[in-house]
Chains A and B, each alone.
Chain A
Amino acid sequence: MKRLPKQHEITQLLAEWSDGNQSALDELYPLVYDELHRLARRYMSRERKGHTLQTTALINEAYVRLVDQRNVHWANRSHFFAISAQIMRRILIDHARRHAYAKRGGGAQQVSLDEAAIVTRALGSDLLRLDEALKSLAEKDPRRSQVVELRYFGGLNNEEIAGVLHVSENTVTRDWNMARAWLYQQLTESAAN
């Protein structure tokens, strides 16, 4: 039995999560996921060739639709963006992966017909490798990995990231430099092998 997300419910969950209730995140995740996924698909079927879709625009729209604007605290907004960044990453990676199957065509490896094959050609494999590298970074240094996730997948700027992570903007800049250098190194090394 899946309930439809209601504005007040999501707003409430966001507030609980901001207050440190981790289980609220588990409930929130699928609700936000479904909405973002739906929006992404709608955009993709509607937009014309050559149009660019900003992740931030997508997340903003989901935010306006899902969260009751009257009762929301700024911190909740940052949290919404944090969770959305994580979800956008997943959506993009899922589709990159699925697309990789789809491109094969024929063969015994047809893509499942249940999902529209979205996303990318050459970018696909890079995106997947970046995702892998980001996972290993998260094991070493979860915060730096999150900075990349928020910025690259969530489209947040440094000030917003600082708000989500409760650190200074300087720290975000430093984390970003280190994380990016490390990821770059990982990807160039794995490409060389």
Chain B
Amino acid sequence: MTPERWQQISRIFKSAISLDGEARAAYVRDQCGPDESLRSEVEKLIESHQQASAENFIGGRAADDGVVLVIDEVEEHPPRLNKGQQLGSYVIIDKLGAGGMGEVYLAKDSRLERTVALKVLSPDISADKRRMQRFSQEAKVASSLNQPNILTIFEFGEVDGLTFLATEYIDGETLRHHLRGKRLKLTETLDIAIQVLSALDAAHEAGIVHRDIKPENVMIRRRDAVVKVLDFGLAKVTEKKSHALAEEESEAATAFKTAPGVLMGTVNYMSPEQARALSVDERTDIWSIGVMLYEMVTGLMPFGGPTSSHTLVQILEKETPAFPKVADAPAELQRIIRKAMAKSPDERYQSAKDLAVDLKSLRKQLEQKSVLVADDTDRGPDKKRVLVLALVVMAVVTAGIFGWSIWRASRARSSVAVPPSAPVAAVPERLLTYWITVQEFREGKYKEPYTMAAEVSFEPKDQIRLYVSSPQAGHLYILNEPPRGAAAVPEFQILFPSPTANKGSTFLEANKQVQIPEKSWFQFDAQEGVERVWLVFSEDAVPELESVKGFASEESKGIIADMTLNKAIQDFLTTHSATKPNLEKGETLTTLKMPGKLLLYAVRLEHH
């Protein structure tokens, strides 16, 4: 219907409903003239208007009826565990949610003093011993993966007749929640997909197929936007038990026929082979992530119908639709998604790795493109200024005494606190994620802090904080190199460890986030230039850098006054910065990856 037509109908409708009986009919006839279809549309609408009024259609409020039923629903399944109750070594803190599979609680593991998410499986799922045994095996394998994008499984067990799964607790939201029916930015889409693929790659290598990749099973951690894939191996456990129905129609199609008019989320991510209830391999996950990519880019589902059966038929028969015009996604991404969603598994990407390679190179292309665009706009005559800058440490809030004894104590502790399952990767690799929060100083006031998404040119008095985290444990050193002046050897400043951050220890536990400085900000002064913040992250303590820890005191403000030491640091950094880490830039955070046991990278901060 054209907008003009719509306007026309609504204009006639509006006046017509204020008239009665014959007058109304005459008015409509008069206004529509010879246009029969217009008259029929207006009359149909008037008819609907009368019926809607008579039935009080949407006359109440949406939530009213709905919420009564909600509370009903909660009443039907009272929580099996209450706050403070104990299940084995776990003490229940709160109920987080419930679903078809059971309930999830926030709990504390009293043995290890850590917070966990505890999934208590519903009896009808846990009753099938054979399946539970298989799940137990898969959970074991999945827990051994120790991949940063896979939700860590701590324990799978049974206590007092309740089968439970203890996993790491993620404070964040599901991708479903994050999407909220809208589409995501291209960079964010790629970041999420690449992380999910890293998880899948590790799992597939270990012979585990997820089988139920969908936005509900992807969590995004609140603090750093790291993606975690949930429920590896769980889908298989909850699959339909009977294969007897597979004769004439697919089992799945039969199962869903009973629910007309209900939109079934999970059907939407099913691969054709799943829809046919055939056996599946890792390529079914490739399909599902293709669907998820499509949804992230366009905000729409590629396949969907009024009932699940309609959707399944589309999955089996319809080609993946082209992106709608609103999605400004590149054609290359469309090609990638089509390939991931080829009907035949043989025509899809054969591994998560292959798909990730294509997504990464697309991301690189996009980055280069945006760099080119930025270069063009930056090429003003005034921009050629030489940048000089300096960074000063603001007065650090004193907290405790920094000294050798504390360092030794924390080191002794840390050697015990080795993560339960160290990575078993054949080629060692170091991983470190960092992001920077900026508080700009403009017109005499500090603005609200924000997390830096792209290169920023700093001004005097602007303040920054640096955040670092890694899925691996290791020794972290952060050094600041002032703008390169005439001096052959720069005077380095040690930013981490500090008297306050991490209690002066260089040892960083896995997944622990450090903020530097801990209680204050770094502030830029009026001196212009390029400041380098060196991040050194090593599996073992670095002897060359351990010796400078003594300068990390409040009196010296971290400035290393000993030129022999500065020279040693410079030599160390020069020697090891020959290999550059691989950069994965997210919306606001950057993940550095480097083969070997040592990672080294200089963050450049430009200051006008």
- The residues of A with any CB-CB pair to B shorter than 8 Å are 1-3, 9, 33, 43-45, 47-56, 58, 88-90, 92-121, 123-125, 127-130, 140-141, 148, 152-153, 155, 174, 177-178, 180-185, 188, 190-191, 193
B371 at the interface (CB under 8 A from A): no
Indicate which residue in A47, A128, A153, A185 contacts B71 across the interface (CB closer than 8 Å): A47
B95 at the interface (CB under 8 A from A): yes
Are B259 and A104 within 8 A (Cβ)? Answer: yes
B425 at the interface (CB under 8 A from A): no
- Within 98-127 of B, Cβ neighbours of A (below 8 Å) are at 98-104, 119, 124-125
Are A55 and B63 within 8 A (Cβ)? Answer: yes
Are A110 and B100 within 8 A (Cβ)? Answer: yes
- Within 237-288 of B, Cβ neighbours of A (below 8 Å) are at 238-240, 252, 255, 259, 261-267, 270, 274
Are A109 and B70 within 8 A (Cβ)? Answer: no
Bound: A183/B174 CA distance, A: 31
Are B100 and A108 within 8 A (Cβ)? Answer: no
Are A114 and B61 within 8 A (Cβ)? Answer: no
Most buried by B among A3, A97, A109, A152: A109
Instruction: Name 7 extra pairs, CB < 8 A, besides A1-B451, A108-B270, A110-B235.
Output: A53-B67, A56-B61, A92-B62, A113-B99, A119-B73, A127-B66, A184-B49
Closest to B588 in A: A1
B261 contact set on A, CB distance < 8 A: 125, 129, 191
A119 contact set on B, CB distance < 8 A: 66-67, 69-70, 73
Indicate which residue in B64, B212, B217 contacts A108 across the interface (CB closer than 8 Å): B212
Are A110 and B101 within 8 A (Cβ)? Answer: yes
Closest to B211 in A: A108
Indicate which residue in B48, B51, B95, B212 contacts A45 across the interface (CB closer than 8 Å): B95
Are A49 and B46 within 8 A (Cβ)? Answer: no
Indicate which residue in B52, B73, B259, B265 contacts A180 across the interface (CB closer than 8 Å): B52
Are B101 and A113 within 8 A (Cβ)? Answer: yes
- Within 427-469 of B, Cβ neighbours of A (below 8 Å) are at 435, 437, 448-449, 451, 467
Closest to A43 in B: B67
Bound: A43/B68 CA distance, A: 11
Given contacts A33-B180, A44-B74, are A88 and B212 in contact (CB under 8 A)?
no
Are A125 and B48 within 8 A (Cβ)? Answer: no
Indicate which residue in A108, A116, A123, A191 contacts B266 across the interface (CB closer than 8 Å): A108
B588 contact set on A, CB distance < 8 A: 1
Bound: A43/B13 CA distance, A: 42
B224 contact set on A, CB distance < 8 A: 1
User: What total of A-B pairs shows CB separation below 8 Å?
Assistant: 237
Interface digits, B212-238 against A, CB 8 Å rule (1 contact, 0 not)?
100011010011100000110011001
Bound: A43/B71 CA distance, A: 9
- The residues of B with any CB-CB pair to A shorter than 8 Å are 1, 3, 6, 10, 13-14, 17, 44-46, 48-49, 51-52, 57-58, 61-75, 95-104, 119, 124-125, 174, 176-177, 180-181, 211-212, 216-217, 219, 222-224, 230-231, 234-235, 238-240, 252, 255, 259, 261-267, 270, 274, 306, 435, 437, 448-449, 451, 467, 588
Closest to A48 in B: B71
Are A104 and B264 within 8 A (Cβ)? Answer: yes
Most buried by B among A50, A97, A107: A107
A26 to chain B, nearest CB (A): 10
A180 contact set on B, CB distance < 8 A: 49, 52, 57-58
Are B211 and A140 within 8 A (Cβ)? Answer: no
A141 contact set on B, CB distance < 8 A: 6, 10
Closest to B6 in A: A140
Top 4 A-B residue pairs of the complex, sorted by shortest distance between their CB atoms: A112-B216, A111-B99, A109-B266, A181-B49
CB<8 Å pairs between A and B, sample of 19: A49-B75, A50-B71, A52-B64, A52-B67, A54-B64, A93-B181, A101-B264, A108-B252, A108-B266, A108-B270, A113-B96, A113-B119, A114-B97, A121-B69, A125-B261, A152-B58, A178-B45, A181-B13, A183-B58
Are A174 and B14 within 8 A (Cβ)? Answer: yes
B178 to chain A, nearest CB (A): 9
Bound: A107/B101 CA distance, A: 10
A182 contact set on B, CB distance < 8 A: 45, 48
B212 contact set on A, CB distance < 8 A: 108, 110
A15 to chain B, nearest CB (A): 15
Bound: A6/B438 CA distance, A: 19
A193 contact set on B, CB distance < 8 A: 306
Indicate which residue in A44, A115, A124 contacts B262 across the interface (CB closer than 8 Å): A124
Indicate which residue in B51, B98, B262 contacts A117 across the interface (CB closer than 8 Å): B98
Given contacts A54-B64, A101-B264, A180-B49, are A113 and B180 in contact (CB under 8 A)?
no
Are B100 and A106 within 8 A (Cβ)? Answer: yes
Are B99 and A55 within 8 A (Cβ)? Answer: no
Bound: A106/B267 CA distance, A: 13
Indicate which residue in B6, B222, B262 contacts A100 across the interface (CB closer than 8 Å): B262
Are A125 and B98 within 8 A (Cβ)? Answer: no
Given contacts A117-B99, A153-B62, A190-B306, are A178 and B222 in contact (CB under 8 A)?
no
Most buried by A among B70, B180, B252: B70
Given contacts A113-B98, A174-B14, are A89 and B62 in contact (CB under 8 A)?
yes
Are A113 and B102 within 8 A (Cβ)? Answer: yes
Closest to B79 in A: A45
Most buried by A among B124, B262, B448, B449: B262
Closest to A53 in B: B67
Closest to A141 in B: B6
Most buried by B among A2, A116, A124, A188: A116
Bound: A94/B588 CA distance, A: 28
B449 contact set on A, CB distance < 8 A: 3
Are B451 and A177 within 8 A (Cβ)? Answer: no
Closest to A58 in B: B63
Given contacts A108-B274, A174-B14, are A184 and B57 in contact (CB under 8 A)?
yes
Given contacts A51-B71, A119-B69, are A107 and B180 in contact (CB under 8 A)?
no
Are B216 and A116 within 8 A (Cβ)? Answer: no
Bound: A66/B14 CA distance, A: 39
Are B63 and A53 within 8 A (Cβ)? Answer: yes
A50 contact set on B, CB distance < 8 A: 68, 71-72
Given contacts A102-B100, A148-B58, are A45 and B63 in contact (CB under 8 A)?
no
B234 contact set on A, CB distance < 8 A: 110
Closest to A124 in B: B262
Bound: A61/B588 CA distance, A: 33
A106 contact set on B, CB distance < 8 A: 100, 124-125, 238, 240
Are A107 and B238 within 8 A (Cβ)? Answer: yes
Are B63 and A188 within 8 A (Cβ)? Answer: no
A9 contact set on B, CB distance < 8 A: 448
A190 contact set on B, CB distance < 8 A: 306
Most buried by B among A2, A96, A104, A153: A104
B562 to chain A, nearest CB (A): 36
B57 contact set on A, CB distance < 8 A: 180, 183-184
B51 contact set on A, CB distance < 8 A: 184, 188
Are B73 and A181 within 8 A (Cβ)? Answer: no
